[in-house]
Amino acid sequence: MNNNTPVTPRPLRPLGHDVRHRVLSAAQLREHGVAAARAAAQCRAGGPWQQPLPGVYLLHPGPPTSEERLHAVLLYAGRPGPEGAKSVPAQPGSSSGGRPAAASGSASSRSASSRPASRSASPYGGVMITGLAALALHGFGSTPGLRALDLIDVLVPRTRRLRSTRFARLIRAHSLPRPELVTGVPVAPVARAVADAVAELSDAAVVRALLTESVRGGHCEPSSLVRELSQARLLARPHVVDAVDALLAEGRSLAEGRLYEMVRTYALPDPVWNVDLRLPGGPHLGGVDAYWPEQAVAVELDTRAPRVGGPGGPQDDDAIWAEYARKREHLERLGVTVVHLTPRKLRESLEQQAMVVGTALTAADERDPAAYVEVLPR
């Protein structure tokens, strides 16, 4: 018995509408009783099949559809290596798909905190579509359609012993994020897909459009996107830094707009907006986004993200959170109730956040009077 001998021969199903019946790997063909020699014969000039990628067969002679190309890329990338070769560690500093070594290493090895993908649940071995193709699947309007893409990026384990070839571009990662299923296709989360796309782009307008749509379209939070770009070491590129500055400004502006909407829609008392607090003749206590002086209630928007630029590069997220926590604890020791809201909470559950703020305002009469603080315009 050799590798061409089928283990459990089964008849091939009719092509039908299921892409899984139209695109099969060599291993799947063997399960159906089709030996490698027969598959090769079917792919000869004028034959009924074709081989769009090594080890992957399209069971009709016409051009592959976008869905078939995606499926072919996933089948190619999901196998351990050419002719069943075992995976071996990639060489340090190697890149994939023409990506510069610095960008490739970061875009590939980042997201140590990402949850590992479930390998057993996917017929593709845990690999997933990323980059522009993933964004097109996520519904981005600023990306080319799948038919217009010459290359389809696919995220694979760093030890996968395969090369980018034809329309499949492999991007290697030490730790894979958990994929999201879009029309049955495993795709990288938006923030990761954007970072992988930006790694291949030099057009500042295109980069800015992608980042803006990510936030404006509600696909992801600015903080998660900037974190991925930082881990990809893309913040050293001036056109990316400029786009990130615009992104952070837009993200805060959108969150502030939702906060104004919450106060108006749910008839909360009018606060004073965007003010600094300090003790009379004493130290500065920090800025807040909304403050109700009579109830001593403050709302602070958490739009934190790794800071870009400067000699130290991106600031660690833990340090930013510690800064928030110190300010909140100081204010609460003075009797000021601080309500901490995130852009996601305002976007996904505005009424619930209004109830949280309303409860804090109502409970003011039951608390001890707060220390007097000065309110200054910010």
Chain position carrying tokens 């140590």: 112
The number of CA neighbours under 13 Å toward the Cβ of 226 is 26
Q: Judge if 228 and 122 occupy the same domain.
A: yes
With the C-alpha atoms ordered 196, 197, 199, 205, is the resulting torsion angle positive or negative? negative
CATH of the domain at 303: 3.40.960.10
Tell me whether residue 85 is in a domain: no
Domain that holds residue 26: 19-64
Residue 318 banded pLDDT, cuts 50, 70, 90: low
Q: Judge if 108 and 228 occupy the same domain.
A: yes
* Spatial CB neighbours of 238, under 8 Å, sequence gap ≥ 6: none
User: 184, 183, 119: which is closest to 156 by C-alpha?
Assistant: 119
For residues 259-280, give the mean pLDDT.
96
Q: Judge if 316 and 224 occupy the same domain.
A: no
Query: Would you say residue 10 has pLDDT above 70?
Result: no
User: 94, 86, 79: which is closest to 124 by C-alpha?
Assistant: 79
Q: Give the Cα separation of 364 and 355 in Å (integer).
A: 14
Residue 161 banded pLDDT, cuts 50, 70, 90: confident
Average pLDDT over the chain, rounded to an integer:
82
Residue 95 banded pLDDT, cuts 50, 70, 90: very low
Q: How many domains does the chain have?
A: 3
Tell me whether residue 317 is in a domain: yes
Task: Give tens-digit pLDDT for 63-88.
Answer: 999 999 999 999 999 975 443 333 33
For residues 265-294, give the mean pLDDT.
93
Helix axes of 204-216 and 222-231: crossing angle, nearest 10 degrees: 140
Query: Would you say residue 309 has pLDDT above 50?
Result: no
Task: Give tens-digit pLDDT for 11-38.
Answer: 565 544 567 789 999 999 998 899 999 9
Tell me whether residue 81 is in a domain: no
Q: Judge if 298 and 367 occupy the same domain.
A: yes
Tell me whether residue 188 is in a domain: yes
Rounded to 10 degrees, the C-alpha dihedral 270/276/277/278 comes to -150
Q: Judge if 166 and 275 occupy the same domain.
A: no
Choice among 11-25, 163-177, 307-321 with the minimum mean pLDDT: 307-321
Query: Would you say residue 44 has pLDDT above 90?
Result: yes
What's the confidence (pLDDT) of residue 1? Answer: 46
What's the confidence (pLDDT) of residue 197? Answer: 97
Query: Would you say residue 312 has pLDDT above 50?
Result: no
The Cα-based distances of 83 to 14, 79, 87, 156, 170 in angstroms read: 27, 9, 11, 18, 18
Tell me whether residue 131 is in a domain: yes
371, 333 Cβ separation under 8 angstroms? no
The Cα-based distances of 30 to 10, 35, 138 in angstroms read: 9, 6, 34
Q: DSSP states of 222-247 as a string?
A: HHHHHHHHHHTT-TTSHHHHHHHHHH
Share of the chain above pLDDT 70, in %: 79
For residues 160-182, give the mean pLDDT.
93
For residues 221-233, give the mean pLDDT.
89
Q: Judge if 225 and 281 occupy the same domain.
A: no
* Spatial CB neighbours of 318, under 8 Å, sequence gap ≥ 6: none
| Better-scored residue on pLDDT, 81 or 150 | 150
Choice among 121-130, 140-149, 158-167 with the minimum mean pLDDT: 121-130
Q: Judge if 282 and 351 occupy the same domain.
A: yes
DSSP-derived letter for residue 165 is B
For residues 250-267, give the mean pLDDT.
92
Tell me whether residue 240 is in a domain: no
86, 161 Cβ separation under 8 angstroms? yes
Tell me whether residue 143 is in a domain: yes
Tell me whether residue 92 is in a domain: no
What's the confidence (pLDDT) of residue 194? Answer: 97
What's the confidence (pLDDT) of residue 306? Answer: 54
Q: Judge if 287 and 362 occupy the same domain.
A: yes
What's the confidence (pLDDT) of residue 80? Answer: 56
What's the confidence (pLDDT) of residue 85? Answer: 37
Query: Would you say residue 121 has pLDDT above 90?
Result: no
Query: Would you say residue 113 has pLDDT above 60?
Result: no
Strand order in the sheet with 168-173: 168-173, 152-157, 128-130, 185-187, 180-182
Q: Judge if 131 and 51 occupy the same domain.
A: no
What's the confidence (pLDDT) of residue 155? Answer: 97
Q: Judge if 276 and 213 occupy the same domain.
A: no
Predicted model pTM: 0.72
What's the confidence (pLDDT) of residue 13? Answer: 56
For residues 201-227, give the mean pLDDT.
91
Q: Give the Cα separation of 183 and 166 in Å (integer).
A: 24
Most confident of 220-234, 328-342, 349-363: 349-363
Q: Judge if 49 and 116 occupy the same domain.
A: no
Q: Judge if 315 and 229 occupy the same domain.
A: no
